[in-house]
Amino acid sequence: MRFVGCIIFSLFFCLQTIGQNVDSLEQALETVVDDTVQVDIYYDLLRANEYSNPQKALYYSKQILNHPLNQEPYYKARNYINVGKLFKNVGQFDSAVANMLTGIKIAEKENDFKNKAMGYNSLGIIYKANSDWKNALKFYRLSYIECNNNDFANGVAMTLNNLGTIHDALENRDSAIYYYEKAAGIAEENDLIGAKAVSYNNLGEILAKDGKNNEALEYFYKTLACDSITKNFMGMSYTLYNIITCQKLLGNTKEAFTTLEKAEQISKELGSKQIDLLYQRSLSDMLEVKGDYKGALKAHQRFKALNDSVYNSEKSAQIAEMQTKYETEKKELEIENLSQENEINELAIQRKNGIILGGVAVVLLILLMTYFFISQLRAKQRQKMAEAVLNERDKGIAAMIKGVEEERKRIAQDLHDGVGQQLSGLKLSMSHLQSTVVKEGTDESDAFNLLVSKLDNTCKEVREISHQMMPKALIENGVLSAIEDMLENTLVGTGINYNLEHYQLKERLPENIELTMFRICQELINNTIKHAKASEIVVQLIKSKKNVVLIVEDNGEGFDQKKSSDGIGLLNLTSRLNTINGEVSYESSPGSGTSATVRIPLV
């Protein structure tokens, strides 16, 4: 607790210092003449107000954007994206997206990877805030590609953290932890203070969700230490309220109140309504724990009043705008009526006609609704019939695949135990006969050696065919070992490097799932060898509570998904997955490599 107090005291002192610096910068802005110095002051004021007063920061960012000395493409792109981030912080997502896209287009034209990465990442955050996981993942991955291709470690770590938050939101806890820990490792390896703070906080929040409050507190304290170095007061405030919640749940009421007092000081200095809302809510919760229900009620009322004031101010602005439009249209109508009184009668006739037309429209609407209802009913019946046909088809495909695999297994067993054993016995007999009957150095000896060599090659071919039809490693050790053997044997001599990664795959999976995953991985690797012209392949196996995921990525030429979606290999994959309710998705375009993600449910 003394550690937390020291950090908060130092940050509180820094806050006062920053407040003084802001005042001095604003005073300097009134007297400065040099345009270059003016732009620098605007930028310093933007950064100083970014997390404490977004509206003020937005004002300074617009001054920078419109300044005549700030039209170089790099700075122009960066400033548009910064304006978009500030609009995002105040909840104006349409303006945020418009500005970010403007900045991204400039960056793409100039091939400016830093601004592209920042813009893609910021767009991903907006889509995530609106629960559009598909587009959020799309832009996070674009940001990751830019950062990774240019060895931008901080960008890679931040993007991995954001990918983890998507999996966290989708309740894929194991995948979320995987990305958080990977991001933390990169941040620690490169001493990226800000990225470490984000990773530690994310890991702490996951532990807190699991009820592991003591372990969560350790990560939150590490987050505070990082925030104290980077002077991220807004981030520190959120972390403090996370600490208060953990302390309360652990029964450390006294420590929680002490932390709350420190948090109150920072909240007052920041002057942020969002942080003040957190303080009033935490104060109400803590007073309730203490038994001070009267004080808890007052704090809750202040929280509600503050929340309502924000809502009502926005609502009032909307009402005022609508009222102004209404009054303007009303005055225009009165002026028009005064100047053209003869139109009054025409309006009355139009009103009567409107009533008649309205009646006709109602009748037509009823008819259309009836038609629509009948059409929907028929469509549902057709859909049920189609689903029944598809179910029967899937059952047939499943039975066929099962039969094929069982026949493969039988043939492989027969080849190994029957033909293979007989050929091995024949080879031993030939070798013995050679040593007892044929003399060394004669023509007969050379012919006999050639015959034994051909017999040995035949034994090897039979053994390889047996293993290809049903890998021994798959039956005895499971899918991970089988895929590893398949990669080693298939890619040898191809010049393609590979890397196999796995997470939480500690136990054997059901036989049909292991067999399906192996066949799909085998097909994807064969497609890569034949068509991709790749030099690297990465295979990942990830198991969570509900799913097992196979990811196969290469750095090859990629393909046009519209032209290749009906290929025989892809159709075979889909047919196999349909039998176990699995799904596959591809991310590829010409020249950008290919990523195939297979997800199979375990329940």
Say what the pLDDT of residue 541 is.
92
| Cβ count within 10 A of residue 106 | 22
pLDDT digits (tens, 9 = 90+) for 494-517: 889 999 998 888 788 888 888 888
As given in the structure block, the two tokens for residue 13 are 């002192």
Say what the pLDDT of residue 558 is.
82
Say what the pLDDT of residue 324 is.
44
- Contact assessment for residue 90 and residue 55, using Cβ atoms and an 8 Å cutoff: yes
- Contact assessment for residue 233 and residue 267, using Cβ atoms and an 8 Å cutoff: no
Tell me the residue type at 342: N
Tell me the residue type at 374: I
Say what the pLDDT of residue 315 is.
40
In the chain the domains, ranked by start, together with CATH numbers, are 380-469 (1.10.287), 472-601 (3.30.565.10)
d(CA 378, CA 386): 12
pLDDT digits (tens, 9 = 90+) for 465-481: 665 666 777 878 888 88
SS3 sequence of 475-528: HHHCHHHHHHHHHHHHHCCCCCEEEEEEECCCCCCCHHHHHHHHHHHHHHHHHH
- Contact assessment for residue 514 and residue 475, using Cβ atoms and an 8 Å cutoff: no
> Measured at the alpha carbon of residue 353, what is the angle toward residues 352 and 359, in degrees to the nearest 5?
95
At 310, is the pLDDT very low, low, confident or very high (cuts 50, 70, 90)? very low
Residue 341 reports pLDDT greater than 60: no
pLDDT digits (tens, 9 = 90+) for 225-274: 888 888 777 778 888 888 988 988 888 888 888 888 888 887 777 666 66
- Structure pTM? 0.47
pLDDT digits (tens, 9 = 90+) for 3-43: 555 555 455 445 445 555 566 667 666 666 566 777 777 77
Sheet holding 547-554, edge to edge: 497-503, 536-543, 547-554, 594-601, 583-588
d(CA 346, CA 486): 84
